[in-house]
Structure 1
């Protein structure tokens, strides 16, 4: 059986593993949100940034991309993803059903936010998110770069996300 991974943020533009197939997909009951304080990749303990996470919400739908892992590469891909995504244990590794655009329904490895984790910061106003993203920088670079790359790749895939578009425009304006 094919192992799928659901991408909704940086996995869209930097999966970091070999992808055998990709397909537009929808994950029900979750939405993409800058609801995780980043103290490693896009911020520091002193000045946390924000990264996207899947936040559970009744009736929500997150549009993203399902990425199929080549047969025989499942274990190394999981090892890589766990090292990348579980660095601070704010994400929970789950397997959830996603609906592919072509009508298939597949189980996908999905990293969702732990709402009880200290890095969780759901429901921050967009302006506050923009202020944080504009100034934060971590081990993987500026927080704004993460936002801009994700927003650009969502547009390329034809996925609309009004909040990310607003944030990208606002942060660009703040940075001049």
Structure 2
């Protein structure tokens, strides 16, 4: 009988500040070959069908700082099932694995990633910061206001010592709450 292996999950958006799954440790990490982007219309968590919000996805190119969460082997299947239920609501993401560098001295490790599915009908590349800010300012879904998603993600990144110029540019264009 093969025992399940421990799991590492890479978070780059709301998983940074709201992982919502049991984990043994959290490590600042960098993923090469992908970057964080507001490229997915949200009709569920951060918007509705009539007023969609925008959520982050990983797109090819560049690099991305985030958090890597270590999950016990015994919790692996349950955590993956819960993450799939959270992240694969409308087929907007694909679950893959990739190598991340743990920035607290842990080296390179294989991690689960949820990347934007460019074939999904909700994929929306090429929005300007003004367009993104307008959509985010107006939208609310079952997980709350889209504005809070952006601001909480920025706060989580800043707590890690990370600045994301693209996200900060969108936040700067939000109208006052």
User: Scaled by the length of structure 1, what TM-score is found?
Assistant: 0.94
Q: Is the 8 A contact 1:134 1:175 kept in 2?
A: no
Q: CA–CA distance in 2 between the matches of 1:90 and 1:56?
A: 15
1:129-159 CA-partner distances (Å, limit 9, x unpaired) = 0000000111111100100100011000111
Point out where structure 1 has 5 or more consecutive residues left out of the alignment.
none
Q: CA–CA distance in 2 between the matches of 1:46 and 1:3?
A: 37
Q: Is the 8 A contact 2:14 2:149 kept in 1?
A: yes
Q: CA–CA distance in 2 between the matches of 1:126 and 1:168?
A: 9
**Which consecutive aligned stretches of 4+ in structure 1 deviate over 4 angstroms post-superposition?**
none
Are 2:25 and 1:21 equivalent residues in the alignment?
A: yes
Q: CA deviation at 1:168?
A: 1.9
> Residue 144 of structure 1: which of 139, 144, 147 is its match?
147
Point out where structure 2 has 5 or more consecutive residues left out of the alignment.
none
Q: Is the 8 A contact 1:50 1:143 kept in 2?
A: yes
The aligned residue for residue 65 of structure 1 is 67
Q: CA–CA distance in 2 between the matches of 1:154 and 1:169?
A: 16
User: Scaled by the length of structure 2, what TM-score is found?
Assistant: 0.94
The alignment of Structure 1 onto Structure 2 pairs a total of residues equal to 172
The aligned residue for residue 105 of structure 1 is 108
State the Cα RMSD in Å. 1.0
The aligned residue for residue 56 of structure 2 is 52
